[in-house]
Amino acid sequence: MSLTQSTRSAAGVNGALDTFWKAVRSTDAYPDLLMNLGFDPNGVRTSADFSHVPPMTKKNYLSMYSLPQLIPGGDVASACLWSSSSGSSGTPTNWPRAELSLQQSVDLHERILRQQGADRKSTLLVVCFAMGNWIGGIYTMRAVEELRKRGFPVSVVTPGVHVDTVRENIASLGRHYEQVLVAGYPPFVRDVLDGAGEQVLDQDLKFLLAGESISEAWRDGILALVGKSDRPEDVCLVYGTADAGMIGHETPTTIAVRRLAVGDTELDASIFGGTAASATLVEYDASMRFVETDDDGFLLFTVDNTIPLIRYRINDIGEVLSAEEMRRRLFEAGHTVDVAATTAHSGYIVLKRRADIAVSFYAVNIYPEPVRTALSDPRLSNTVTGKFFMTTTPQKDLRDGLSLHVELRPGVGSAERADATCGDLIKTAVVDALVAASSEFEELHGLLGTLAEPKVTFGMFASDGFEVDVKLRHIRKVSGR
């Protein structure tokens, strides 16, 4: 498998090679993986050599070896902090983090907070990511604590995903600061603002988001609520994973480019492949996260973590652009945008879709497997085929609703299609399956109740979206076959 795109900075390539050799020489798992794949590591010396290193995945690597085999020197206690994935795609994975991971997080958060003026203005950062084992809340809090030591006039409060507490914190504490930076999942941030009083909305609010993509219409709606329609850069989205931590983040440049592309089909096609409305565009630093794409368009990440990741594939699909390539494509589409990269090693990631997620809802990744299992209930066997797709449907108040569209069996007509009993049975089975499969969905359902449950609709056999051999490719739509 060859490298098709990457950032070519020397720091990026050299860092990736160093991480490769660290894993080869100091872990038991990585040389064993390469041996099993028939790959000789001794020939890897250059970027061209590195491009032929077989990708690792959760399935072929992380799930196949024990923690002592994956961690350099076999010292599990070298981790200073553990975070966990939700287990939506199987058993939850525990991710260790040590000093290097923290320092990289601090450096990346510093760039974001400088963008938001938090190096100059007294800032209250309200962390309303979940504060349990999951990465978002603790990762953000720890980074900002360290930035305080670097002289940033920033204070942190951590209400987590409790809307009333977030509002109270902003109202009672925010008025003592020049600005308030609200860090959270997009749907929860919307919940905080919807119905909030003047004591919240009249403050200088800015937003740090993660967990799922946002549309420019969503960004505009949030800004309108807080009286900042001319300040799109006051909403910054982070792209990250529990595996690697923060990978990249929006900048004024990436926001400006995406907003241009939403209204320009030529630019959309050139940079986003026609997906600008749903894609994410972020800047990343190749000296910390070396990013490539393989021949199939999957992003590959090389990150020096407590568990070194080398050409790690998480099934996100996208493209990697250098600053020079970004300028060229903008110019060819007739735009003169100042592409202001943060460092000489900065590049851009276009995240077009996540291949094996049925939908991201309130930052909870919902995978096809639990839904497929629910639809295999014998009580449904005479009614539905088991094929489905899930979407999030924007509501008038900018919240998303979860929708599940299920294919009917041949010969099942319109009367049965409207059968509320069948729909209720499907909804109950799906919710039970998701609660069992995902601790994050269980938490979400506990907080939102019926608002977290899908609205079930039906499609006739082989109707739109269920054509034979159709492979669904939309970012929030995956076949349940």
**CATH code assigned at 398:** 3.30.300
E strand or H helix at 21? helix 10-26
- Angle at 306 (CA atoms; ends 300, 308), nearest 5 degrees: 30
- In one-letter notation, the amino acid at residue 107 is D
CB burial string 368-377: b at 16+ within 10 A, e below: bbbbbbbbeb
Q: Is residue 272 part of a domain?
A: yes
Q: Within this chain, do residues 136 and 178 fall inside the same structural domain, yes or no?
A: yes
CA distance 50 to 300: 12
Structure tokens at 153: 């006039």
Q: Within this chain, do residues 115 and 243 fall inside the same structural domain, yes or no?
A: yes
**Predicted local distance difference test score (pLDDT) of residue 237:** 96
Q: Within this chain, do residues 325 and 182 fall inside the same structural domain, yes or no?
A: yes
Which domain-ending residue is among 328, 354, 380?
A: 354
Phi, psi (degrees; rounded to nearest 5) at 363: 70, 10
Burial environment of residue 195 by CB neighbours within 10 A (0 to 12, 13 to 18, 19 or more): exposed
CA distance 472 to 14: 38
Question: Closest Cα partner for 117 from 248, 205, 247, 230?
Answer: 205
List the CATH number of the domain containing 278. Answer: 3.40.50.980
Q: Is residue 475 part of a domain?
A: no
In the chain, the N- to C-terminal Cα span, in Å, equals 28
Q: Within this chain, do residues 416 and 366 fall inside the same structural domain, yes or no?
A: yes
Q: Is residue 324 part of a domain?
A: yes
Token pair 């038991």: residue: 28
Cα torsion for 220, 221, 227, 228, to the nearest 10°?
-20
Token pair 């990697």: residue: 320
Number of domains in the chain: 2
Q: Is residue 154 part of a domain?
A: yes
Q: Is residue 329 part of a domain?
A: yes
CA distance 209 to 183: 6
DSSP-H helix ranges across 27-98:
29-36, 47-50, 67-70
Q: Within this chain, do residues 267 and 393 fall inside the same structural domain, yes or no?
A: no
Q: Is residue 254 part of a domain?
A: yes
pLDDT tens for each residue of the chain, 481 residues long: 344 444 456 678 899 999 999 999 999 999 999 999 999 999 999 989 999 999 999 999 999 999 999 999 999 998 888 877 765 555 667 888 888 888 888 999 999 999 999 999 999 999 998 877 777 788 899 899 999 999 999 999 999 888 899 999 999 999 999 999 999 988 788 888 988 999 999 999 999 999 878 888 889 889 999 999 999 999 999 998 878 889 999 999 999 999 999 999 999 999 998 888 888 999 999 999 999 999 989 999 999 989 999 999 988 889 999 999 999 999 999 998 889 888 889 999 999 877 666 688 888 888 777 888 788 787 887 788 788 888 888 777 677 889 999 888 777 765 455 577 889 999 999 999 898 878 889 999 998 899 899 999 998 877 877 754 333 332 334 434 4
**Predicted local distance difference test score (pLDDT) of residue 471:** 33
Q: Within this chain, do residues 275 and 373 fall inside the same structural domain, yes or no?
A: no
Q: Which residues have CB under 8 Å from 307's CB, separation 6+?
A: 62, 70, 71, 95, 96
Q: Within this chain, do residues 162 and 224 fall inside the same structural domain, yes or no?
A: yes
Q: Within this chain, do residues 274 and 419 fall inside the same structural domain, yes or no?
A: no
Q: Within this chain, do residues 374 and 345 fall inside the same structural domain, yes or no?
A: no
CA distance 443 to 450: 13
CA distance 292 to 298: 8
The range of the structural domain enclosing residue 398 comes to 361-459
Q: Which residues have CB under 8 Å from 125's CB, separation 6+?
A: 118, 140, 144, 154, 155, 156, 157, 180, 181, 183, 208
Reading across the β-sheet that carries 455-459, which strands appear in turn?
384-394, 400-408, 455-459
Structure tokens at 455: 């609205």
Q: Is residue 342 part of a domain?
A: yes
Token pair 């507490």: residue: 165
Q: Within this chain, do residues 411 and 454 fall inside the same structural domain, yes or no?
A: yes
Asked whether the beta carbons of 209 and 184 are under 8 A apart, the reply is yes
Q: Within this chain, do residues 202 and 327 fall inside the same structural domain, yes or no?
A: yes
DSSP-H helix ranges across 338-438:
368-375, 414-417, 420-437
* pTM, entire model: 0.78
Q: Within this chain, do residues 335 and 218 fall inside the same structural domain, yes or no?
A: yes
Question: Closest Cα partner for 464 from 404, 405, 398?
Answer: 405
Q: Is residue 441 part of a domain?
A: yes
